[in-house]
A and B are shown apart, each in its own frame.
Chain A
Amino acid sequence: MSVETHSPVREPLHRPAGLAGFAADWASDQRTFKNVSWGKAMMWIFLLSDTFIFGCFLIAYMSARMSTAVPWPNPSEVFALHIGGSDVPLILIAIMTFVLITSSGTMAMAVNFGYRQDRRKTALLMVVTALFGATFVGMQAFEWTKLITEGVRPWGNPWGAAQFGSTFFMITGFHGTHVTIGVIFLLIIARKVWRGDFDTGRRGFFTSRKGQYEIVEITGLYWHFVDLVWVFIFAFFYLW
Protein backbone atom coordinates (compact mmCIF):
# COMPACT_ATOMS: atom_id res chain seq x y z
CA MET A 1 0.00 0.00 0.00
CA SER A 2 2.94 2.34 0.61
CA VAL A 3 3.62 2.40 -3.13
CA GLU A 4 0.13 3.65 -3.80
CA THR A 5 0.53 6.74 -1.63
CA HIS A 6 3.49 7.89 -3.73
CA SER A 7 1.56 7.59 -6.93
CA PRO A 8 -1.13 10.23 -7.37
CA VAL A 9 -1.98 8.77 -10.79
CA ARG A 10 -3.57 5.76 -9.16
CA GLU A 11 -5.79 7.77 -6.84
CA PRO A 12 -9.16 5.95 -6.76
CA LEU A 13 -11.98 7.66 -8.60
CA HIS A 14 -14.72 8.88 -6.33
CA ARG A 15 -17.89 7.45 -7.66
CA PRO A 16 -21.30 7.54 -5.97
CA ALA A 17 -22.28 4.43 -4.03
CA GLY A 18 -25.55 2.53 -3.84
CA LEU A 19 -28.37 2.98 -6.34
CA ALA A 20 -27.05 6.36 -7.45
CA GLY A 21 -23.77 4.61 -8.24
CA PHE A 22 -25.60 1.87 -10.12
CA ALA A 23 -27.33 4.48 -12.31
CA ALA A 24 -24.13 6.49 -12.74
CA ASP A 25 -22.07 3.41 -13.73
CA TRP A 26 -24.57 2.18 -16.29
CA ALA A 27 -25.11 5.69 -17.70
CA SER A 28 -21.41 6.49 -17.96
CA ASP A 29 -19.24 6.23 -21.05
CA GLN A 30 -16.35 3.82 -21.76
CA ARG A 31 -17.11 1.05 -19.30
CA THR A 32 -19.85 0.03 -16.92
CA PHE A 33 -17.94 -2.09 -14.42
CA LYS A 34 -15.70 0.63 -13.06
CA ASN A 35 -13.44 -1.28 -10.72
CA VAL A 36 -13.58 -4.68 -12.38
CA SER A 37 -11.13 -5.69 -15.10
CA TRP A 38 -12.43 -7.00 -18.42
CA GLY A 39 -11.16 -10.48 -17.56
CA LYS A 40 -13.15 -10.67 -14.37
CA ALA A 41 -16.26 -9.14 -15.94
CA MET A 42 -16.14 -11.65 -18.81
CA MET A 43 -15.73 -14.57 -16.41
CA TRP A 44 -18.80 -13.34 -14.51
CA ILE A 45 -20.79 -13.05 -17.74
CA PHE A 46 -19.69 -16.53 -18.79
CA LEU A 47 -20.77 -17.86 -15.40
CA LEU A 48 -24.14 -16.14 -15.84
CA SER A 49 -24.61 -18.00 -19.13
CA ASP A 50 -23.56 -21.24 -17.45
CA THR A 51 -26.14 -20.56 -14.74
CA PHE A 52 -28.82 -20.63 -17.43
CA ILE A 53 -27.49 -23.92 -18.81
CA PHE A 54 -27.59 -25.63 -15.42
CA GLY A 55 -30.90 -23.88 -14.71
CA CYS A 56 -32.37 -25.46 -17.85
CA PHE A 57 -31.02 -28.89 -16.86
CA LEU A 58 -32.56 -28.67 -13.40
CA ILE A 59 -35.86 -27.44 -14.86
CA ALA A 60 -35.84 -30.37 -17.32
CA TYR A 61 -35.29 -32.67 -14.35
CA MET A 62 -38.12 -31.00 -12.42
CA SER A 63 -40.49 -31.34 -15.38
CA ALA A 64 -39.61 -35.03 -15.87
CA ARG A 65 -40.07 -35.78 -12.19
CA MET A 66 -43.33 -33.83 -11.85
CA SER A 67 -44.96 -35.19 -14.98
CA THR A 68 -44.23 -38.89 -14.58
CA ALA A 69 -47.02 -41.16 -13.41
CA VAL A 70 -44.45 -43.73 -12.23
CA PRO A 71 -42.87 -43.31 -8.77
CA TRP A 72 -39.45 -41.60 -8.77
CA PRO A 73 -36.60 -43.78 -7.38
CA ASN A 74 -35.73 -42.74 -3.81
CA PRO A 75 -32.28 -41.07 -4.08
CA SER A 76 -31.65 -41.68 -0.40
CA GLU A 77 -31.71 -45.43 -1.07
CA VAL A 78 -30.26 -45.38 -4.58
CA PHE A 79 -27.14 -43.52 -3.43
CA ALA A 80 -26.70 -45.41 -0.15
CA LEU A 81 -23.46 -47.28 0.46
CA HIS A 82 -23.19 -50.55 2.34
CA ILE A 83 -20.70 -49.81 5.12
CA GLY A 84 -20.09 -51.98 8.17
CA GLY A 85 -23.15 -54.15 7.75
CA SER A 86 -25.71 -51.37 7.25
CA ASP A 87 -26.79 -49.04 4.47
CA VAL A 88 -25.70 -45.45 5.08
CA PRO A 89 -27.91 -43.14 3.00
CA LEU A 90 -26.23 -40.68 0.61
CA ILE A 91 -22.87 -41.06 2.36
CA LEU A 92 -20.78 -40.89 -0.81
CA ILE A 93 -22.62 -37.76 -1.96
CA ALA A 94 -22.09 -36.15 1.45
CA ILE A 95 -18.35 -36.86 1.27
CA MET A 96 -18.25 -35.46 -2.28
CA THR A 97 -19.96 -32.31 -1.01
CA PHE A 98 -17.39 -31.88 1.76
CA VAL A 99 -14.51 -32.50 -0.67
CA LEU A 100 -15.81 -29.79 -3.00
CA ILE A 101 -16.39 -27.29 -0.18
CA THR A 102 -12.88 -27.94 1.10
CA SER A 103 -11.51 -27.29 -2.38
CA SER A 104 -13.42 -24.01 -2.46
CA GLY A 105 -11.81 -23.04 0.84
CA THR A 106 -8.29 -23.77 -0.41
CA MET A 107 -9.08 -21.84 -3.60
CA ALA A 108 -10.18 -18.78 -1.62
CA MET A 109 -6.88 -18.95 0.29
CA ALA A 110 -4.95 -19.27 -2.98
CA VAL A 111 -6.57 -16.06 -4.27
CA ASN A 112 -5.64 -14.34 -1.02
CA PHE A 113 -1.99 -15.43 -1.17
CA GLY A 114 -1.90 -14.52 -4.86
CA TYR A 115 -2.65 -10.89 -4.07
CA ARG A 116 0.01 -11.02 -1.36
CA GLN A 117 2.52 -12.02 -4.07
CA ASP A 118 3.28 -15.24 -2.23
CA ARG A 119 3.76 -17.39 -5.31
CA ARG A 120 4.77 -20.63 -3.57
CA LYS A 121 1.76 -20.72 -1.26
CA THR A 122 -0.54 -19.66 -4.10
CA ALA A 123 0.70 -22.40 -6.42
CA LEU A 124 0.61 -25.03 -3.66
CA LEU A 125 -2.94 -24.14 -2.64
CA MET A 126 -4.05 -24.23 -6.27
CA VAL A 127 -2.53 -27.69 -6.69
CA VAL A 128 -4.27 -28.82 -3.48
CA THR A 129 -7.54 -27.44 -4.89
CA ALA A 130 -6.95 -29.34 -8.13
CA LEU A 131 -6.26 -32.53 -6.15
CA PHE A 132 -9.55 -32.17 -4.26
CA GLY A 133 -11.26 -31.58 -7.59
CA ALA A 134 -9.69 -34.70 -9.07
CA THR A 135 -10.78 -36.64 -5.96
CA PHE A 136 -14.32 -35.41 -6.54
CA VAL A 137 -14.28 -36.56 -10.18
CA GLY A 138 -12.84 -39.90 -9.08
CA MET A 139 -15.66 -40.41 -6.59
CA GLN A 140 -18.15 -39.46 -9.26
CA ALA A 141 -16.65 -42.07 -11.60
CA PHE A 142 -17.06 -44.62 -8.77
CA GLU A 143 -20.68 -43.57 -8.30
CA TRP A 144 -21.42 -43.84 -12.03
CA THR A 145 -19.77 -47.29 -12.16
CA LYS A 146 -21.83 -48.47 -9.19
CA LEU A 147 -25.10 -47.27 -10.69
CA ILE A 148 -24.32 -48.66 -14.16
CA THR A 149 -23.52 -52.11 -12.72
CA GLU A 150 -26.83 -51.92 -10.83
CA GLY A 151 -28.61 -51.45 -14.13
CA VAL A 152 -29.21 -47.69 -14.36
CA ARG A 153 -29.38 -46.59 -17.99
CA PRO A 154 -30.51 -43.33 -19.61
CA TRP A 155 -33.63 -45.19 -20.76
CA GLY A 156 -34.49 -47.09 -17.59
CA ASN A 157 -33.59 -48.40 -14.16
CA PRO A 158 -34.76 -51.16 -11.80
CA TRP A 159 -36.50 -48.87 -9.31
CA GLY A 160 -38.98 -46.61 -11.05
CA ALA A 161 -39.36 -43.73 -13.47
CA ALA A 162 -37.19 -44.21 -16.58
CA GLN A 163 -36.22 -40.52 -16.68
CA PHE A 164 -34.15 -40.94 -13.50
CA GLY A 165 -31.15 -42.27 -15.41
CA SER A 166 -31.18 -39.71 -18.21
CA THR A 167 -31.46 -36.71 -15.89
CA PHE A 168 -28.86 -38.16 -13.51
CA PHE A 169 -26.26 -38.82 -16.20
CA MET A 170 -26.90 -35.50 -17.92
CA ILE A 171 -26.75 -33.27 -14.85
CA THR A 172 -23.91 -34.96 -12.95
CA GLY A 173 -22.05 -35.62 -16.20
CA PHE A 174 -22.15 -31.97 -17.19
CA HIS A 175 -21.11 -30.92 -13.71
CA GLY A 176 -18.28 -33.46 -13.67
CA THR A 177 -17.07 -32.09 -17.00
CA HIS A 178 -16.99 -28.63 -15.47
CA VAL A 179 -14.95 -29.90 -12.53
CA THR A 180 -12.53 -31.65 -14.89
CA ILE A 181 -12.05 -28.50 -16.97
CA GLY A 182 -11.57 -26.58 -13.71
CA VAL A 183 -8.82 -28.99 -12.59
CA ILE A 184 -6.98 -28.51 -15.91
CA PHE A 185 -7.44 -24.72 -15.71
CA LEU A 186 -6.12 -24.73 -12.11
CA LEU A 187 -3.03 -26.78 -12.99
CA ILE A 188 -2.15 -24.54 -15.94
CA ILE A 189 -2.41 -21.37 -13.85
CA ALA A 190 -0.65 -22.99 -10.87
CA ARG A 191 2.32 -23.80 -13.15
CA LYS A 192 2.50 -20.18 -14.29
CA VAL A 193 2.33 -18.95 -10.68
CA TRP A 194 5.02 -21.41 -9.57
CA ARG A 195 7.31 -20.35 -12.43
CA GLY A 196 6.88 -16.75 -11.36
CA ASP A 197 5.31 -15.56 -14.63
CA PHE A 198 3.32 -12.88 -12.85
CA ASP A 199 6.35 -11.57 -10.96
CA THR A 200 8.71 -11.39 -13.93
CA GLY A 201 6.09 -10.19 -16.41
CA ARG A 202 6.70 -13.14 -18.71
CA ARG A 203 4.51 -12.94 -21.79
CA GLY A 204 1.88 -15.61 -22.14
CA PHE A 205 1.36 -18.15 -24.88
CA PHE A 206 -1.01 -17.20 -27.73
CA THR A 207 -1.89 -13.64 -26.65
CA SER A 208 1.71 -12.74 -25.68
CA ARG A 209 0.30 -10.44 -23.01
CA LYS A 210 1.77 -10.22 -19.54
CA GLY A 211 -0.33 -11.98 -16.93
CA GLN A 212 -1.19 -10.76 -13.46
CA TYR A 213 -2.10 -12.44 -10.20
CA GLU A 214 -5.67 -11.45 -10.94
CA ILE A 215 -5.96 -14.56 -13.13
CA VAL A 216 -5.85 -16.56 -9.88
CA GLU A 217 -9.01 -14.78 -8.73
CA ILE A 218 -10.66 -15.35 -12.13
CA THR A 219 -9.80 -19.06 -11.94
CA GLY A 220 -11.22 -18.96 -8.41
CA LEU A 221 -14.50 -17.49 -9.67
CA TYR A 222 -14.89 -20.45 -12.03
CA TRP A 223 -14.00 -22.93 -9.31
CA HIS A 224 -16.41 -21.46 -6.76
CA PHE A 225 -19.12 -21.54 -9.42
CA VAL A 226 -18.58 -25.27 -9.86
CA ASP A 227 -19.05 -25.64 -6.10
CA LEU A 228 -22.12 -23.40 -6.29
CA VAL A 229 -23.74 -25.56 -8.96
CA TRP A 230 -23.10 -28.62 -6.81
CA VAL A 231 -25.00 -26.95 -3.94
CA PHE A 232 -28.09 -26.82 -6.18
CA ILE A 233 -27.62 -30.32 -7.60
CA PHE A 234 -27.16 -31.71 -4.08
CA ALA A 235 -30.35 -30.00 -2.89
CA PHE A 236 -32.60 -30.75 -5.85
CA PHE A 237 -31.37 -34.05 -7.21
CA TYR A 238 -30.03 -35.91 -4.19
CA LEU A 239 -31.99 -34.54 -1.24
CA TRP A 240 -35.41 -33.63 -2.70
Chain B
Amino acid sequence: MTETTAHTDTIPQAGSRAPAHEQHQQHPIGLYLVVWVLLFVLSTFSYLVDYVGLQGYLRWSLILLFMVLKAGLIVAIFMHMAWERLALIYAILLPPLLVLVFVALMVSESHYVLFTRLAFFGAAP
Protein backbone atom coordinates (compact mmCIF):
# COMPACT_ATOMS: atom_id res chain seq x y z
CA MET B 1 0.00 0.00 0.00
CA THR B 2 2.92 2.34 0.55
CA GLU B 3 4.24 1.38 -2.86
CA THR B 4 1.76 3.72 -4.51
CA THR B 5 2.54 6.75 -2.41
CA ALA B 6 6.24 6.06 -2.52
CA HIS B 7 6.03 5.72 -6.25
CA THR B 8 4.32 9.01 -6.95
CA ASP B 9 6.71 11.21 -5.02
CA THR B 10 9.98 9.68 -6.11
CA ILE B 11 11.63 10.42 -9.39
CA PRO B 12 11.66 7.16 -11.35
CA GLN B 13 15.22 5.94 -11.43
CA ALA B 14 16.42 3.74 -14.24
CA GLY B 15 15.95 0.12 -13.37
CA SER B 16 15.16 0.62 -9.71
CA ARG B 17 11.41 0.61 -10.20
CA ALA B 18 11.20 -1.89 -13.00
CA PRO B 19 7.76 -3.10 -14.10
CA ALA B 20 7.90 -5.85 -11.52
CA HIS B 21 5.96 -5.08 -8.38
CA GLU B 22 7.48 -5.59 -4.98
CA GLN B 23 5.19 -7.23 -2.51
CA HIS B 24 4.97 -6.36 1.13
CA GLN B 25 5.06 -9.23 3.53
CA GLN B 26 1.94 -8.58 5.55
CA HIS B 27 0.71 -11.41 7.74
CA PRO B 28 -1.41 -11.60 10.87
CA ILE B 29 0.42 -11.11 14.17
CA GLY B 30 -1.21 -14.28 15.51
CA LEU B 31 0.81 -16.39 13.07
CA TYR B 32 4.06 -14.98 14.46
CA LEU B 33 2.93 -15.65 18.01
CA VAL B 34 2.12 -19.28 17.16
CA VAL B 35 5.55 -19.77 15.57
CA TRP B 36 7.18 -18.06 18.52
CA VAL B 37 5.48 -20.46 20.97
CA LEU B 38 6.41 -23.43 18.75
CA LEU B 39 10.06 -22.36 18.73
CA PHE B 40 9.99 -22.12 22.52
CA VAL B 41 8.47 -25.58 22.81
CA LEU B 42 10.95 -27.11 20.35
CA SER B 43 13.89 -25.46 22.15
CA THR B 44 12.62 -26.85 25.44
CA PHE B 45 12.40 -30.32 23.87
CA SER B 46 15.95 -30.16 22.53
CA TYR B 47 17.18 -28.96 25.94
CA LEU B 48 15.31 -31.84 27.58
CA VAL B 49 17.14 -34.30 25.32
CA ASP B 50 20.30 -33.30 27.18
CA TYR B 51 18.65 -32.83 30.57
CA VAL B 52 17.08 -36.30 30.54
CA GLY B 53 20.37 -37.71 29.31
CA LEU B 54 19.30 -39.63 26.23
CA GLN B 55 22.25 -41.22 24.43
CA GLY B 56 23.15 -42.79 21.11
CA TYR B 57 21.09 -42.71 17.95
CA LEU B 58 17.91 -41.64 19.77
CA ARG B 59 19.70 -38.55 21.09
CA TRP B 60 21.23 -37.63 17.73
CA SER B 61 18.06 -38.15 15.72
CA LEU B 62 15.99 -36.09 18.20
CA ILE B 63 18.58 -33.27 18.17
CA LEU B 64 18.51 -33.22 14.35
CA LEU B 65 14.72 -33.41 14.22
CA PHE B 66 14.19 -30.45 16.57
CA MET B 67 16.97 -28.51 14.83
CA VAL B 68 15.43 -28.98 11.37
CA LEU B 69 11.95 -28.08 12.62
CA LYS B 70 13.21 -24.89 14.28
CA ALA B 71 15.28 -23.88 11.27
CA GLY B 72 12.34 -24.56 8.96
CA LEU B 73 9.96 -22.43 11.03
CA ILE B 74 12.41 -19.52 11.21
CA VAL B 75 13.15 -19.55 7.48
CA ALA B 76 9.59 -20.21 6.31
CA ILE B 77 7.62 -17.89 8.59
CA PHE B 78 9.94 -15.35 10.24
CA MET B 79 12.01 -14.84 7.09
CA HIS B 80 8.86 -15.07 4.90
CA MET B 81 10.37 -17.68 2.59
CA ALA B 82 7.04 -19.54 2.48
CA TRP B 83 5.52 -16.64 0.51
CA GLU B 84 8.36 -16.03 -1.93
CA ARG B 85 8.44 -17.23 -5.52
CA LEU B 86 10.24 -20.48 -6.33
CA ALA B 87 12.94 -18.54 -8.22
CA LEU B 88 14.22 -17.07 -4.93
CA ILE B 89 13.48 -20.15 -2.79
CA TYR B 90 15.57 -22.43 -4.99
CA ALA B 91 18.36 -19.87 -5.46
CA ILE B 92 18.81 -19.53 -1.69
CA LEU B 93 17.86 -22.90 -0.23
CA LEU B 94 19.36 -25.38 -2.72
CA PRO B 95 23.04 -24.27 -2.67
CA PRO B 96 23.46 -24.93 1.10
CA LEU B 97 22.54 -28.58 0.44
CA LEU B 98 25.92 -28.90 -1.30
CA VAL B 99 27.48 -28.40 2.14
CA LEU B 100 26.31 -31.96 2.79
CA VAL B 101 28.72 -33.16 0.07
CA PHE B 102 31.50 -31.36 1.93
CA VAL B 103 30.34 -33.04 5.15
CA ALA B 104 30.52 -36.46 3.48
CA LEU B 105 34.04 -35.73 2.21
CA MET B 106 35.24 -34.62 5.63
CA VAL B 107 33.65 -37.58 7.42
CA SER B 108 35.67 -39.87 5.19
CA GLU B 109 38.79 -37.75 5.71
CA SER B 110 38.31 -37.67 9.49
CA HIS B 111 38.07 -41.45 9.65
CA TYR B 112 41.34 -41.66 7.75
CA VAL B 113 43.08 -39.12 10.02
CA LEU B 114 41.89 -40.99 13.10
CA PHE B 115 43.13 -44.25 11.58
CA THR B 116 46.61 -42.81 10.92
CA ARG B 117 46.76 -41.32 14.44
CA LEU B 118 45.92 -44.65 16.02
CA ALA B 119 48.19 -46.60 13.66
CA PHE B 120 51.28 -44.42 14.01
CA PHE B 121 50.95 -42.74 17.42
CA GLY B 122 49.07 -45.36 19.40
CA ALA B 123 46.02 -44.46 21.47
CA ALA B 124 47.61 -41.34 22.95
CA PRO B 125 49.00 -38.91 20.34
Contact = CB atoms under 8 A, between A and B. Distances in A.
Interface of A: 1, 3-4, 7, 9-10, 12-13, 15, 17-19, 21-22, 25-26, 30-38, 41, 44-45, 47-48, 51-52, 55-56, 59, 62-63, 66-70, 76, 89-90, 94, 97-98, 101-102, 104-105, 107-109, 111-112, 115-117, 201, 210, 212-214, 217, 220-221, 224-225, 227-228, 231-232, 234-235, 238-240
A137 B33 CA distance: 24
Nearest to B90: A22
Given A1-B1, A3-B5, A115-B25, A76 B50 contact: yes
Given A10-B4, A66-B111, A210 B85 contact: no
Nearest to A222: B79
A112 B40 contact: no
B107 interface: yes
A105 B32 CA distance: 7
B26 A225 contact: no
Contacts of A9: 7
A231 B114 contact: no
Contacts of B7: 9-10
B124 A69 contact: yes
B118 interface: yes
Nearest to A7: B4
B67 A232 contact: yes
A108 B25 CA distance: 11
B96 A55 contact: yes
A159 B70 CA distance: 31
A206 to B, nearest CB: 16
A224 B91 CA distance: 18
Interface residues of B, number: 73
Nearest to B62: A239
- What are the nearest 8 A-B pairs in CB distance? A66-B110, A25-B87, A67-B113, A22-B86, A235-B67, A105-B36, A67-B110, A55-B99
B62 to A, nearest CB: 9
Interface in B1-33: 1-7, 9-10, 16, 18-27, 29, 32-33
Given A115-B26, A232-B67, 5 more contacts: A68-B114, A210-B6, A228-B79, A231-B74, A239-B59
A37 B40 CA distance: 32
A32 B90 CA distance: 12
B20 A52 contact: no
A25 B108 CA distance: 39
A139 to B, nearest CB: 15
A104 B102 contact: no
A62 to B, nearest CB: 6
Contact of A94 (B47, B78, B111): B47
Contact of A228 (B74, B84, B121): B74
A52 B99 contact: yes
B52 to A, nearest CB: 10
Contacts of B71: 228, 231-232
Q: Which of A31, A101, A111, A231 has the most CB of B within 10 A?
A: A231
